[in-house]
Amino acid sequence: MKCGKLDANGLSIGILVATNDITGNLLDGARGAIKNLLPLGKRIVVLNGEDIKEILRCTDVSDKLDDKFTELYK
């Protein structure tokens, strides 16, 4: 599976901002596609609208990203 922008720029980690979140479960849809990239060494963290609001309310961005990276492996 290719990951266009990450591959094109030689990156393995990306952040996707999706204010209305993403679709699917861990087997299909966007969530499944993101999960299927893990064995390929690609990591995509999804920040939804609530995450952005928390960051704007001065939540530490690095703490938020740590939480999201941890969620990738659940």
Domain spans, the chain: 4-72
What is the C-alpha to C-alpha distance for residues 16 and 4, in angstroms, rounded to an integer?
Answer: 13
pLDDT in the model for residue 62:
87
pLDDT in the model for residue 1:
63
Residue type, 20: N
User: What pTM does this model have?
Assistant: 0.77
pLDDT in the model for residue 55:
87
pLDDT in tens, 1-42: 677 888 899 999 999 999 998 987 777 888 888 888 999 999
CB 46 within 8 A of CB 16: yes
Q: State the Cα angle at 29 between 24 and 32, rounded to 5°.
A: 90
